[in-house]
Structure 1
Amino acid sequence: MGRNLTLRLPEDLVRRAREVALKRGQSLNAFVEELLRQALAEEGPEEAMARQLSWMRQGLFSSEGQALPSREERHARGA
């Protein structure tokens, strides 16, 4: 069974990805999964971990130095 994942991507990138997926007869989900599998097959787990740790140290996962919202804040429902 798959796991849901929320990503924030530029709208034009999503639009272009949907177009490519449609041309291939795939859903956007299947297209992204294929790309991830290809990328991960090209490097071993040690390299992937080192790269991601490097990104984290550089702050590439932050939001311009601001604290990222909690899960509850991201999924808050209007009352």
Structure 2
Amino acid sequence: MSNLSKGSSSSQPVVDTSSCRTRRAERGRGIPRYCRCGEGPVIRTSGTAKNPGRLFYCCPFESEGVPLCRFLL
């Protein structure tokens, strides 16, 4: 059974465009394949008081604990 808009003689179903937009927006999300230096990012665990135990992606190369190419997600 299709939903028709009130007073419409067309057989076109009514489409909820908000769910289409949501699905499109979710396609771009996900795990990053490369950091800014071209290498695959690694998952680290935060040790800060603000985000204890929180996982994040960063560059696999570090200089004194800071991601070398400044990639951080």
1 or 2, which has the higher strand percentage? 2
Instruction: Provide TM-score, normalisation by structure 1.
Output: 0.22
TM-score w.r.t. the length of structure 2 is: 0.23
Larger radius of gyration: 2
Work out which structure has the larger RCO, using CA pairs closer than 8 Å and 6 or more positions apart in sequence.
Answer: 2
